[in-house]
Amino acid sequence: MKIYIIAVLTVLAPLMAQAEPFGFYAITDNAPYNASAGENQLFMLVDEGGTLGQVSVLFTNTGPTASTLKSIYFDTLDPYVSPAIDLQIESIVNGTGVNFTEDKKVKNFNGGNPIRAFSSNLSLGNDGSNANGIDPNEYLILNLTYNQSAYDFMDMLQSGDLQVGLHAGAFPNGGSEKFVNSTEPYDSVIPEPSTALLLGFSGLLVKGFRSLRQRFDP
């Protein structure tokens, strides 16, 4: 049986103003099974909260395939966008078992074959190891700020002016793959987890969004 990922959002609706889920497509193919698994279980939920210049992005690994999301990259350097998008990390809310920090020196997102060139200017990760990454049923929330007068975060994602890249590893064969966000909200189906798993994962998300709301709305 299949379910839409929107079912998770339904549980969280009271806590999110304008949340939209986005999937990712693989830009490497080191092992087809790994690439497919990542595309089926790595997602980000974008909540603009109705306020330009402020956005919360929740990254999830829904499982069930063993894997860990190790690093996240943002590309806001589209040469045709002026003024430049000034995207900044306001805070990082690490879920249980996750420990990401912003890279003091932005790391490059090399390799693969993205639809558009990718040049990262903001990155964060778990120090490059498999420990403290986003494993199945774990999450991380980024509270971000950007030029509120010039842009809309969701519009930038959908136009491709803003790109998000992921590096995931620790797949069953020990391999890793890279992914870039889709430009449209996720509307495909994912395998249904057990009822207990879905409820437990939703509980983690509720806790995470409460934390970010407290951070942005004291």
Q: Could you give phi then psi for residue 181, rounded to 5 degrees?
A: -65, 150
pLDDT tens digits along 3-55: 434 444 444 444 444 578 899 999 999 998 999 999 999 999 888 877 778 89
**Residue 155 scores a pLDDT above 90:** no
> Is 215 or 120 the better-scoring residue by pLDDT?
120
Q: Which of 41-50, 145-154, 157-166 has the lowest mean pLDDT?
A: 145-154
* pTM, to two decimals: 0.80
pLDDT band at 130 (very low <50, low <70, confident <90, very high): confident
Domains belonging to the chain, first-starting first, are 2-216 (2.60.40)
Query: Is pLDDT above 50 for 114?
Result: yes
Alpha carbon of residue 98 to chain centroid: 14
Peptide bond into 83 cis (omega under 30): yes
- Pick the residue with more confidence: 218 or 110? 110
What rounded mean pLDDT belongs to the chain?
78
**Res 128 pLDDT > 80:** no
So what's the pLDDT on residue 195? 36
Question: pLDDT (tens digit, 9 = 90+) per residue, 165-190?
Answer: 999 999 999 999 999 999 887 654 33
